[in-house]
Amino acid sequence: MLETKKSIMGGDEREHRRLAMTLAAVLLLGAFQLGEGELKGNYSKLSGIIIPGFASTQLRAWSILDCPYSPLDFNPLDLVWLDTTKLLSAVNCWLKCMLLDPYNQTDHPECKSRPDSGLSAITELDPGYITGPLSSVWKEWVKWCIEFGIEANGIIAAPYDWRLSPSMLEERDLYFYKLKQTFETALKLRGGPSIVFAHSLGNNVFRYFLEWLKLEIAPKQYIQWLDDHIYAFFSVGAPLLGSTETVKGMLSGNTFGLPVSEGTARLMFNSFGSSLWMMPFSKYCRADAMYLKHFSGGIRKGPNTYQCEQKEFQSNYSGFSTNIINIEIPSTRGIDAYPSVSEFSQTNYSSMECGLPTQLSFSAREISDGTFFKAIEDYDSDSKRTLHQLKKSYHDDPVLNPLTPWDRPPIKNVFCIYGVDSRTEVGYYFAPSGKPYPDNWIITDVIYEIEGSLVSRSGNQVEGNPGPASGDETVPYHSLSWCKNWLGPRVNITRAPQSEHDGSDVQVELNVEHHDEDVVPNMTRSPRVKYITYYEDSESIPGKRTAVWELDKANHRNIVRSPALMRELWLQIWHDIHADSPSKFVSKAKRGPLRDDDCYWDYGKARCAWPEYCEYRYVFGDVHLGQSCRLRNSSADALLHYV
C-alpha cells in the first residue's frame, strides 16, 4: 500500500515536472523575432536541420540482386549501409551495391543504392540490439531534443549520398535544390529561421550549398535569404583544411572497423567521388570558381585560377605540422621517371645509390593539386582515375573548388566546435608491398600529433611544426582550428570543466588580441579534468557573432554524442531567446544538472550530489541509488541562471 502511494505521488511529481518542462519548452520555442543577431519578439519556432558526416547516412538498395552461395539476397529498400549481416555473409554482393564507377560515379550494373530519408536515416546506421549502439550517430542528439520538448517537425534531417562528389550530389539527386526547399519549408511551417547542425563532411556539404545558393538567388537577395532562413550555424568536427587520414584510405585502405581487408576498403573508398573532398590542402592557396558571381550583378565565366601566397613556398608543410606523405619509389629509371615533379629541388630526393628506392615527400598542396598522383602514376594504376576525378569534380567545379580554405560563412551566428588533445595521425611513410593493386602500398611508419608534439609509431620524437594541441583522432588540429581565423579582432577566452561545476575551476582571459592566427590561452589544466575552452568575440564583425569551442578528448565520431556539447548547445540557444540578456554568450560561471541523467549519488556524503538541483526520489524499477536521484520540480527555473 505504501509503495502504491509512493508510486502515485511519484507520478504526480513527474506530471508536475513534465508540465514545468513543457512550460520551459514553450518559453524556449515560443514567440521570438530575429533581430540584430538576437532572438526576440514574434516568430513562432525554431527548426534544427542536421547535415550528417561521411558514412553517417543509411543507404538502401534500389535493385534486385541474387547473391549466389548465400541465403541472403538484396531486394529494393534492403539496408546496404550498414547491414553487417549481409556484409559478412555476401561481401561480393554487398560491394556491388556500394561501389561506384570511378570515372563517372554511376552505379554498378547489377545493383544501385540510394540514401534513406528522415531522422531514422542518421540516428543508427545498423539498428539492432547489439549493432544499434555500436553504429549510433545522432540518436542521443535526437533524444535530447525530445527530452527538452522539441516537436517532431522541429528537427529535420538532410541525409545525402556521401559517396558522391559535390557536383554529382546536385546532378543526380538535386540535393542542394532540395536542401534550399527544406529551409524554405521549415520557415513556412515553423514561422522562424533554422539552426544548422553539421558534422564532419556535412560542413563541406553546407559550404558548397552556400556557394551554390549564390547562383540561384539574385545577388542583392542572397544575404537577406540567409538572414531569413538561417539563424545560426553549429559546425562540429569540420575538416576545414582536410583530413590526413583520407590519404591512408586512398593509398592503403582504412577499414573503419568493418570486417573487410584493407585492400577491399581501398577499392571501395577510391570508387567514391567524395574521397577527394576530404583531402588535405594548403591554407595559403586559393582558387576562383569558373562562374564568378558579382553582387553588383551578372555572371562572368572564365578559366579557374589557382594562386598561392608567398608563405606557401616559405613554409615547409603548407600550414600543417609535417609532410603528409613520405613514399619510397623504385628509382631504376632515375629522376626522369618523374617528369611531373621535375621542378622539385633536388633536396626532395634522398641521396641514395642508383637502383635503390627513392623517397619523395609531399605537402598538403602537392597532394591537393595533383602533383603527388602524377609522381606515382607509373607505379599506381589508380592514379589516373584520381587525377581525372580531381580535375573534373574539384579543380574545374563551376561552383567552388572545395580544396581551398573556407572564409567565415556569411551567417549571423557561427559556432565552430571540435575535439582536441587526442592522438591524431598527421603523416605517413609508404613503401611498395610487391603485391598488385589494391594492396600495392604498405604503411611503414605513422607520425602522430599528441598534445603539442610529433611522435612516430615507435615513440620517437619527430621534427616539424606541431600546434599547441592535437586533433580529434581523425582531423589534425591545424585543420580543425582554422575557424579561429573567423573570430573578431578581440576575443574573450574561458576555460571550464566539461562536467557540472560550481565555478571554482573556471579561468577567464578578456580582450585577447587576435590577428587572423591561432589564439592560445595562457591557462592551467588539472590532469584529471576534461575542459571546454571557449573563444568568443569580444569585438566582432558588425552584425555577426562567432565562437569556437574546444572540447578536451572528444573524438571525431563521438563528439555529436557528448552530453557536455549537447548541454552547451541547449544553454546557448536558451540564452539567445531572452532579449534582456546582458551578454552575447551564455555565462560559463556555473553548470548544474539539467536532466535526471546528470544527477548521481554521492557516496561520501550519503545523499544525491548537487542537492540544490537534485533530490532522492525513488520510482518503482530503480535498481541503484544513483538512478533514484532526479531533478527537483523547480529545475525549469534553474535555466534562468543562464540568461
CATH number at residue 176: 3.40.50
Domain contains 391: yes
Report CA torsion sign: 360, 364, 365, 368: positive
The string of pLDDT tens digits covering residues 31-44 is: 344 444 444 433 34
Name which of 113-127, 266-280, 327-341, 582-596 the model is least confident about: 327-341
Rounded Cα–Cα distance for residues 97 and 114 (Å): 10
Rounded Cα–Cα distance for residues 641 and 279 (Å): 44
Name which of 94-98, 143-147, 156-160, 334-338 the model is least confident about: 334-338
Categorize the per-residue pLDDT at 575 as very low, low, confident or very high, splitting at 50, 70 and 90: confident
Report CA torsion sign: 127, 131, 132, 138: negative
Choice between 475 and 291, residue whose per-residue pLDDT is larger: 475
Residue 636's CB: how many other CB atoms inside 10 A? 19
Domain contains 280: yes
Domain contains 382: yes
Rounded Cα–Cα distance for residues 513 and 539 (Å): 10
Categorize the per-residue pLDDT at 341 as very low, low, confident or very high, splitting at 50, 70 and 90: very low
Residues 251 and 232 both lie in one domain = no
Choice between 344 and 210, residue whose per-residue pLDDT is larger: 210
Strand partners, 115: 59
Residues 221 and 256 both lie in one domain = no
Report CA torsion sign: 239, 240, 245, 248: positive
Average pLDDT on 628-637 reads 75
Residues 208 and 224 both lie in one domain = yes
Percent of all residues in the chain with a pLDDT value above 70, rounded to a whole number: 84
Catalytic residue, chosen from 515, 526, 580, 624, is 515
pLDDT at residue 580 greater than cutoff 90:
no
The residue behind cell 508536475 is 16
pLDDT at residue 130 greater than cutoff 70:
no
Domain contains 498: no
- The predicted pLDDT at position 643 comes to 61
- The predicted pLDDT at position 289 comes to 56
Interacting residues of 470 by C-beta distance below 8 A, sequence separation 6+? 420, 421, 422, 423, 424, 448, 449, 450, 451, 452, 476, 477
Q: Provide the grid cell at 65.
A: 540482386
- The predicted pLDDT at position 597 comes to 85
The mean pLDDT of the chain is: 85
Categorize the per-residue pLDDT at 468 as very low, low, confident or very high, splitting at 50, 70 and 90: very high
Domain contains 483: no
Residues 53 and 94 both lie in one domain = yes
- The predicted pLDDT at position 46 comes to 81
Residues 206 and 68 both lie in one domain = yes
Average pLDDT on 79-108 reads 92
With H, G, I as helix, E, B as strand and everything else as coil, classify residue 390.
helix
Categorize the per-residue pLDDT at 582 as very low, low, confident or very high, splitting at 50, 70 and 90: confident
The string of pLDDT tens digits covering residues 376-390 is: 999 999 999 999 999
Is 637 considered catalytic here?
no
- The predicted pLDDT at position 490 comes to 92
Rounded Cα–Cα distance for residues 194 and 450 (Å): 37
Residues 177 and 249 both lie in one domain = no
Pick left, alpha or beta for residue 440 (phi over 0 → left; psi -120 to 50 → alpha; otherwise beta): alpha
Q: Provide the grid cell at 292.
A: 564568378
Overall domain count for the chain: 3
Hey, which of 57-66, 281-290, 573-582 has the most confident mean pLDDT?
A: 57-66
Residues 313 and 450 both lie in one domain = yes
- The predicted pLDDT at position 332 comes to 53
Categorize the per-residue pLDDT at 357 as very low, low, confident or very high, splitting at 50, 70 and 90: confident
pLDDT at residue 296 greater than cutoff 70:
no
- The predicted pLDDT at position 640 comes to 67
Is 575 considered catalytic here?
no
Domain contains 512: no
Residue type, 362: F
Domain contains 66: yes
The string of pLDDT tens digits covering residues 370-419 is: 999 999 999 999 999 999 999 999 999 999 999 999 999 999 999 999 99
Q: Provide the grid cell at 555.
A: 573524438
Residues 162 and 268 both lie in one domain = no
Measured CA to CA in angstroms, residue 328 lies from 279, 352, 388, 426 at distances of 21, 11, 24, 18
Percent of all residues in the chain with a pLDDT value above 90, rounded to a whole number: 62
Domain contains 473: no
Catalytic residue, chosen from 472, 552, 576, 598, is 472
Measured CA to CA in angstroms, residue 556 lies from 66, 77, 82, 199 at distances of 37, 30, 19, 9
Residues 254 and 372 both lie in one domain = yes
SS3 string, 65-121, reads: ECCCCCCCCECCCCEEECCHHHHHHCHHHHHHHHCECCCCCCEECCECEEECCCCHH
Is 388 considered catalytic here?
no
Hey, which of 131-145, 307-321, 431-445, 621-635 has the most confident mean pLDDT?
A: 431-445
Q: Are 194 and 235 in contact (CB under 8 A)?
A: no
Choice between 16 and 164, residue whose per-residue pLDDT is larger: 164
Residues 63 and 187 both lie in one domain = yes
Residue 232's CB: how many other CB atoms inside 10 A? 23
Provide the residue range defining the domain that includes 383.
244-292+304-333+354-408+421-467
Rounded Cα–Cα distance for residues 81 and 60 (Å): 7
- The predicted pLDDT at position 397 comes to 94
Residues 67 and 142 both lie in one domain = yes
Backbone angles phi, psi at 368, to 5 degrees: -75, -25
The string of pLDDT tens digits covering residues 225-252 is: 999 999 999 999 999 999 999 999 999 9
